[in-house]
A and B are shown apart, each in its own frame.
Chain A
Amino acid sequence: MTADLANATAAKEDGLYVYCVARGDGNRLLGSIGLGGQVVYTVGSGDIRAVVHNCQAEPYQSQDPQVVQDWVVAHQNVVLAAAEAFGTVLPMAFDMIVRGSPGGGAVAALRDWLDERRDRFTRLLDRLAGKAEYGVQVLWDREGIAASLVQSDDELRGIQDEARSKPKGLAHLLQQKLTKAVRAAMEKQADLFAQDFYARIRRCVEDVRVDKLKKVDGGKQMLLNLSCLMQQGSGELGRVLDDLQQTKGISVRFTGPWPPYSFVGG
């Protein structure tokens, strides 16, 4: 151990903020790249190690959104730096801090945890090697699709035409009927799209996690929110997504490569 490393890792506080788990033994210093510029290094046990910095045994919290945002970005950047240095990593969630137990310090507690999970971590590291996570969100333009549904469906168009030719009161009733019918048709269409798109995406990736649908701005609605695991640099998913976007009213948000946050649990 170099003097620098010994100095940086001397436990002045009783907590360890953990960024990720990776393969490899021995201590390595990654530099002052942690939350708030903290010195990041590794704590090893056998052939796996955790990437950490020393901190107090209390959670990071702030009322200032900018501060918190900087922390989250720093967390992510340390995970990326670790992946560059050590290959495949198992990223931790934000603000995971190991505390020392009465029987020993935080380092001992962390090593215990690594030992206890060694088999599982090793399996995960093998499984995730060379792969990355990609975010896929399929959105549709609700208004636009509703309008084109009415145009293409004889029954719906019939109601609309009838509503236009009737006096106000009756027209209002017909309009309500139309709204209801369009909503039902939209739901059906959404299901069809979601099933079809999911199947097409699933075929070209290694694994998928289905995430909660999110609210989106601009009259769009989310149909599918997926995290996909696949070989890094594989172009197939991109081609499938570009293909999906050819569907009228459909757009896709594709992000990544991400560290495999969605594929380390379960």
Chain B
Amino acid sequence: MEPELPKAYHRATLVDLLDRVLDKGLFLRADLVISLAGIPLIGATLSVAVAGTETMLKYGILSDWDEAIRAVPPEQRRLLRQQRPNELPLGSHAGIAETV
């Protein structure tokens, strides 16, 4: 945490987290990733998520699978996006030290 928080500092909301966890981060290669009911998720996602499509086009869908594949089922994305932003209990990850 910053030593002195700027006035602009806000507690992260669920939306802030979703923007990162769903849309960003590393993706797996196509042949490793799990598909939904036999449909590769990339196909389902392409038809649903416009933002995702743009990202994929930018990266070149077929040339760089690793960056372009989204494994979050579209239905799941929709559900998540409907939620209202809540304060998040982030940073509660106790239990690590004693188990290592």
Give chain A's interface residues, CB within 8 Å of chain B: 4, 15, 18, 20-21, 28-33, 57-63, 65, 68-69, 72-73, 75-78, 80-81, 84-85, 90-99, 101, 109-110, 113, 117, 133, 135, 211-212, 214, 227, 233, 235, 237-239, 241-242, 244-245, 251-258, 261-262, 264-266
Contact = CB atoms under 8 A, between A and B. Distances in A.
Interface string B26-53: 1111011110100001000000000100
B32 A61 contact: no
A93 B71 contact: yes
Given A92-B26, A261-B21, A264-B25, A31 B96 contact: yes
Main SS at interface, chain B = loop
B41 A254 contact: no
Interface residues of B, number: 60
Contacts of B36: 58-59, 61
Contact of B19 (A110, A211, A256): A211
Interface string B80-97: 101100101111110110
A102 B91 CA distance: 39
A154 to B, nearest CB: 34
Contacts of A73: 17, 88-90
A256 B20 CA distance: 12
Contact of A81 (B75, B76, B96): B96
Nearest to B96: A81
Contact of A69 (B5, B6, B14, B72): B14
Contacts, number: 193
B10 A253 contact: yes
Interface in B53-85: 59, 66-67, 70-73, 75-76, 79-80, 82-83
Interface of B: 1-12, 14-29, 31-34, 36, 41, 51, 59, 66-67, 70-73, 75-76, 79-80, 82-83, 86, 88-93, 95-96, 98-100
B93 A33 contact: yes
Contact of B2 (A65, A77, A233): A233
B96 A30 contact: yes
Q: For B17, B66, B95, which residue has the most chain A Cβ atoms within 10 angstroms?
A: B17
A72 B8 contact: no
Contacts of A265: 24-27, 59, 67
Contacts of B51: 212
15 contacts: A30-B99, A31-B100, A32-B99, A68-B76, A69-B83, A72-B21, A76-B21, A92-B26, A93-B26, A93-B72, A96-B33, A98-B28, A235-B4, A241-B6, A261-B24
A84 B20 contact: no
